Structure 1
C-alpha cells in the first residue's frame, strides 16, 4: 500500500444518504472496506459538504434546499448538479484530492485520475422502465462521464461487454469487479429469526420472498402471476412477501394485487431496514428474482448466502452470480416459475440440495475481495499518472 501513502481518494457518498438500494449498498461497502484498507481514509462528498466519517442521512437544510429547487426552478436536475459541482470542486482543492472514484455513474468534472463505476445500462436497454426525468439526466451527462473517466469499473462481465459495445470503450479501460455479500447473510435457525419474523407476522420456512424496488424492470408482476397459479392451500400456507420501496410504475400491477393482499396471501411490507434483511432471507422457503435486466443482482447472492434456494432470471448478469447453484428461468415465463416454486415447496430433498449449492457458491463473493480488486484498479490508474 506504499503507493497510497500520498494518495488522497475522494468518493461521491451521496448514494448512502438515501435508503440503501443497489448503488447505495455498493457505495457503503466500498467506503467501509477502504477505510480499513487504505492508509489514508477516503474523503467523502455528501453533495453539500465533505467528510471522512460515514453519514446515513443528509442534513435537513440540504433536503429542504433540494425540495425548493425541484418545486420552484426550471430544469431542477441541471441546477442541482451545478450547485453540487461547485461544492465538489471546492472540496477537491481544500482536501487535495488526487484520485476520484464515482460509484454512481455521473462523475463530476475532475482534473486528475478518475474511476467511474457503471452498474448497468438499463436506461439505454430498457428506457421504458425509467421515468422521463431520469432518462434525460443519464443521456445528458453519461457519455461525457464515460469519455472523461481514466478507468471504468463494472459489476459483471455482462456490463463490461455492454459498456464496450455501446460507448466504444477499449477493453483496457474497463475492469470487472464482482460484488460481495456481507457476513450477516448466513443460515439462521428459527429461534434467531423469530424476533424479526414476528414483526412481519411470518413463520420460519413458510413464506416465499422477493426483494427489489417495486418498479417494472424488477418484473415483480411476473412473480405475482406465478404465485397466483399455485393452489390456494399453498398460497395460504406460504404467502408471498415482496420487500422493497415503491418505485416508478407501480400502477401497472398494483390493482391486480388487491384480492391476494386482502386475503393475506401477498404481503408488501415496503422498505425493510438493512438489519432485518438477513433474518427475512434466512427464514424464507425460497427466493425468486426474475429481473429483466441487472448489472449484478445482490439479492439472489444474499439469499444464497443464507442457504435459501433461488429462482432467478437467466438474462443479463444473473447467470454470473447464480451460476449452477440456482434455478435460472426465462423471466416472463410465469408458468415455469410457478412450477419451480411448487417444486421447492413440496420437494424437501431438492430444496436442501439447492440451498447447499447456493451456500457454497456465495462463499466466493466477499466485500473484502471486492475492495482489494477495486484498489488494484486504483493502483493501475496511478501507475500511468506522470
Structure 2
C-alpha cells in the first residue's frame, strides 16, 4: 500500500449532500488522517478524481492538499467512460453505491438495498439503472462493503453481491461533535427550546412521517409541535409523503450547524422510518444529548441497541405512547440521554477508515501498513 495510490471517485462531491454523501466525506477525511498517523504522505497515496470542475467541487476541495484530476464529461458518462482511465493501475474507492463496471481493482460501498425493498419510492429511470448496474458492480468490484449486517443480508438475498463476498463496516457519527451550533434556526421559525419533537429525512414514503402526524394529536401537551427537516428530492423519489397539521413545522433543508441546534434543543428525535441501511440521524442525535424514539425495523435495532425507545412504525398509537413517556417522565429522559452518549461514542469515523484501509492492505499484502492500522485500532 505504501507505494500504491488510492484513487477516489469524487462524483459525490458534485451533488448536494445527503446521508450517503456525508458518509463518503467523513470516511475520506478520516482516511487522510489515518495515513498521516501511520507516517504516510497522504498526498502520495490519495488522488481525488472528478468530472469537470463545478462550484460544488471547488467548495469541497479548496482546503485539501491532495492530488486531483478531472475529466471532460459529467455524471454517469464520466463515471463509466473516463473514470477507469483516470484511475488506471490504482485502487479506486467508490463510496456512494455506484462506480465504473470496467474497473476491477476497486472498492465499492453499497449502502442499502432500498431500490429492491421499496421500489415504488423511486422513479422508474432510477430503478432501472440501479437494478441493472448494481449486480454487475457487485461481481466486478474486488472489494464490496456495506454499512450493516441487515444491508449485507438483503444485498445477498437479492443477489446484488455473491454470498460471502460483502464486508460490513459501520459508519461513524463523531463528526457532529466538531460542528458549531447555530441557534438562529430556532428564532427564524419561532421554535421554543426543549418544547418540540424533531424528525429528519426526505419526504419519501419509506420515511413514514405520516405516522407521526397521526400520533401528534394524541400527545397530552396538545400544543407541542413537530419540527421536520429535509427535502423531497423529486428527481429520485416519487410519491412524496407530505404531511400536514396545525402543529407541524417544516424547516426544509438545513446545514450542519442548524441541524445540531435542532438536535440539542428537541425533546427527542422521532425516527419512524420503515427501511434503513444504517440510520445516521439517531446516532447524531444521541451524540448531541437528544433521546431517540425509533422504528423497531430493518437495521435500526442492530445499530442502536438498547439505547433508544422503539415503536412499531405502523402503529401511531404506540408512537404516541412513547412520545408521551419521553415527554412526561424526566427520569426516563435522563436515562436515555446517558445511554445515547455511551452508545454513540463507540461509532467513530476513525474505525470506519481503519477497517476500510485494512481490506485494501490485506489484498496488497503490505503487512507493515496493516500492522500499523491494527496498532491504531487498539488505542482508539
TM-score higher than 0.5: yes
Give how far 1:324 is off: 0.3
SS in 2 for 1:106: coil
Give how far 1:343 is off: 1.3
Aligned to 1:43: 47
Give how far 1:215 is off: 0.9
Map Cα deviations across residues 290-320 of structure 1 (whole Å, 9 max, x no partner).
1111110000111111121111111111111
Native 8 Å contact 2:203 2:241 kept in 1? no
How many residue pairs are counted as aligned between the two chains? 346
Native 8 Å contact 1:309 1:355 kept in 2? yes
Q: Distance in 2 between matches of 1:152 and 1:315?
A: 24
Give how far 1:43 is off: 1.7
Aligned to 2:192: 203
**112 and 140 in structure 1: CA distance in 2 versus 1, 3 angstrom threshold:** closer
Aligned to 2:374: none
Aligned to 2:278: 296
Native 8 Å contact 1:150 1:173 kept in 2? no
For the pair 1:219 / 2:208, whether they are aligned, the reply is yes
For the pair 1:326 / 2:315, whether they are aligned, the reply is no
Native 8 Å contact 1:193 1:283 kept in 2? no
For the pair 1:362 / 2:344, whether they are aligned, the reply is yes
Give how far 1:81 is off: 2.2
For the pair 1:165 / 2:157, whether they are aligned, the reply is yes
Native 8 Å contact 2:228 2:250 kept in 1? yes
For the pair 1:106 / 2:93, whether they are aligned, the reply is no
For the pair 1:151 / 2:161, whether they are aligned, the reply is no
1:140 pairs, out of 107, 132, 145, with: 132
For the pair 1:177 / 2:169, whether they are aligned, the reply is yes
1:56 pairs, out of 56, 60, 83, with: 60
Give how far 1:173 is off: 2.0
1:10 pairs, out of 4, 7, 17, with: 7
Aligned to 2:66: none
Q: Distance in 2 between matches of 1:225 and 1:382?
A: 54
Map Cα deviations across residues 189-217 of structure 1 (whole Å, 9 max, x no partner).
xxx66444223322221111001111111
Aligned to 1:28: 25
What is the TM-score of this pair, normalised by structure 2? 0.83
2:117 pairs, out of 117, 122, 125, with: 125
Q: Distance in 2 between matches of 1:128 and 1:106?
A: 20
Q: Distance in 2 between matches of 1:186 and 1:339?
A: 34
For structure 1, list consecutive stretches of 5 or more residues without a partner in the other structure. 67-79
**123 and 199 in structure 1: CA distance in 2 versus 1, 3 angstrom threshold:** same
1:247 pairs, out of 224, 233, 239, with: 233
Map Cα deviations across residues 349-384 of structure 1 (whole Å, 9 max, x no partner).
111111111111111101111111111112123239
Q: Distance in 2 between matches of 1:18 and 1:181?
A: 21
Native 8 Å contact 1:186 1:307 kept in 2? no
SS in 2 for 1:269: strand
Native 8 Å contact 2:105 2:141 kept in 1? yes
Aligned to 1:75: none
SS in 2 for 1:173: coil
What is the TM-score of this pair, normalised by structure 1? 0.82
Aligned to 2:67: none
Q: Distance in 2 between matches of 1:168 and 1:136?
A: 14
Larger mean CA deviation between 354-363 and 195-204 belongs to: 195-204
For structure 2, list consecutive stretches of 5 or more residues without a partner in the other structure. 62-69, 367-380
Native 8 Å contact 2:216 2:320 kept in 1? yes
Q: Distance in 2 between matches of 1:162 and 1:222?
A: 25
Q: Distance in 1 between matches of 2:252 and 2:231?
A: 5
